[in-house]
Every structure is written in C-alpha cells, then in structure tokens.
Amino acid sequence: MTHAILSCNGLDKPEGSVAREVAIRAAAATGSEIICPVLLHRAPARYKKALSENAVIVVDGCSTRCASKLAESLDIKVDRKVLVSDVLKSSGIALEPTLNLGPNGVGLAQAVVDGLLQSLNASSEPAPSAVSSVVFAPPTEHLVVTHDKFEFRIPVADYMFNENDVWVRAVDDVARVGISDYMQQSLTDINFFDAPKTDAVVDQFGELGSLESAKAVFEIIAPASGTVVAVNAEVVANPGLINEDPYGKGWLVEMKLTNWPEDRELLLKPEAYAKTVKHKAEEA
C-alpha cells in the first residue's frame, strides 16, 4: 500500500518542526507523497488524486492537532496518526527550544520515523486473528434513558460500566470492551480509533487508546485490569461502527482479565449506569 503524508507545517513549536522532519524522512523512506497543509487548505483539489489513491498518515506536532483537524474538516479518511508531543513525553528526550532542529530534535524525528515504519511493516503482514472464540451475543433488551429529544440505550444483559462511559462484558476471564451509547452520541461521528497495542497490560482506569471525532478526543478509560489480546480490526478500518452499534459490532478491544473479582466492585450495573447517564445528560 502506498501512502500520502499530511503533516504539521512546523512553524509554531519545536514539536512541529520535528513533525515536518518526520514527514520528509518518512516520505523518502516509503516513496510517499507529502501533503502541504497550507496548500491543502487553500486548494484541496491539488491533492485530490493523492488522497484518493493512498492511505493517509497524519503527523501532528502538538495537541493542537492542526493536521488532524484539517483532515477532519475535509472528510479525509486517515489510516494512521502520529503525535510527536506524545512520543516526546515517553522518550525522555529533551527537545531543543528552537524551530531549527538540534541533535535531539533530529534524533526524535528519526525515532518517530522508525516507529512509523515498523508499524507500517507490521500491518502489511497478515496478522493471525487473536479474537477470542467466546460468543458475545448481541444484546436484545435495553433500558432507555430519555433527555429532551435524545434517547440513550443501555443493555440489561451482562454489561457493566465505569463512570467514564466505558462498558465491559466478561465471560470467565475474557472480556469485550466498548463505549456506551451515551458517549457515542456525545462524541457524534467518530472518525478515528487510536487502538492500544495487543499485549498491552493495562490497569483498571488506565488508558485503552482513544477515539476522535470532530468534536472531541475521548480517552478510553479501562473498566478492568488485564492484557489486551485483540483489537477490533473492523472498527479500526471503519470507526463509524461505534456510532452504529456501540454494544455489538462497535466493540473496541478484547482483554484477558487479571483482577476481575475486585475490579467489578468499582463498576456499575446497567440500572445504576442509567441513573448516571440521566444525571450527566441533565448537567451537560
């Protein structure tokens, strides 16, 4: 698969300069086309062919996420994203405070490119499905919380919720995780699922990746402790499934649970979560 790279233009912060360098180096390494954000904004037709024929990689410098927001505003489907400021935090590198990249900035850019290339190579090889053989039948019965013209569904079956609007459904020590109908409606159209890595070990209330919509970035807060054993590839390819079917086809990850008897004590059953949703809807 070929790629087009839409990057921060790198003229506001050092992290942006790193993003720009990442785009140049990654394009050279992969033969990808670079999409200039300023020209894309001014004359989107210039890149119509490149965007329609290639998988798009977005490289943001900082959390302002100008490149991501530009992609959202133009309905560009994004294949993967890199946020330099996140990589910087986890790298321990002290970035020089200038727009001209110093040795540390260049090193960070190359580290980001290496990670990106590794991820591209990994996803080009067919991965064996790690989705469990457990059957999670679609819910058939729901509680409905009504507020103004909105209706929020909550399945009454074996779903449990944290107060951060994430559900978990456990069968023995395997569980599926997703977000509630209330949250998917709050986010509106979800256009990107930044999934956790399989084999990631997560504590209860730790981070299980994030979701992005035009409205917000939503940190997925783990409802239980465990190891991520599978990511819903259909949702990665089509995040709109979360909006269409948040409790079924829109599940996000499967986990092997490590502390379920204790973790479940800090979760809500559907009836209690319905009260929480009612309260949140009234306060919003």
**Contact set with another protein (CB under 8 A):** 12-13, 62-65, 85, 163-164, 186, 203-206, 210, 216-219, 221, 266, 279, 283-284
Q: Least Å distance between CB 33 and another protein?
A: 26
Q: Which letter does DSSP use for residue 265 in this model?
A: G
Q: Are 9 and 82 a contacting pair, CB within 8 Å? A: no
Nearer to another protein, 117 or 216 (CB): 216
Ramachandran assignment for 185, one of left (phi > 0), alpha (psi -120 to 50 degrees), beta (any other): alpha
Q: Least Å distance between CB 150 and another protein?
A: 14
- DSSP bridge pairs for 233: none
Q: Least Å distance between CB 264 and another protein?
A: 12
Nearer to another protein, 52 or 63 (CB): 63
Could you give the CA distance from residue 198 to residue 281 in angstroms, rounded to a whole number? 34
Nearer to another protein, 45 or 284 (CB): 284
Nearer to another protein, 95 or 116 (CB): 95
Could you give the CA distance from residue 35 to residue 76 in angstroms, rounded to a whole number? 12
Task: Determine the 3-state secondary structure of 153 from DSSP.
Answer: strand
How long, in residues, is the chain?
Answer: 284
Q: Least Å distance between CB 62 and another protein?
A: 4
Nearer to another protein, 118 or 188 (CB): 188
Q: Least Å distance between CB 132 and another protein?
A: 27
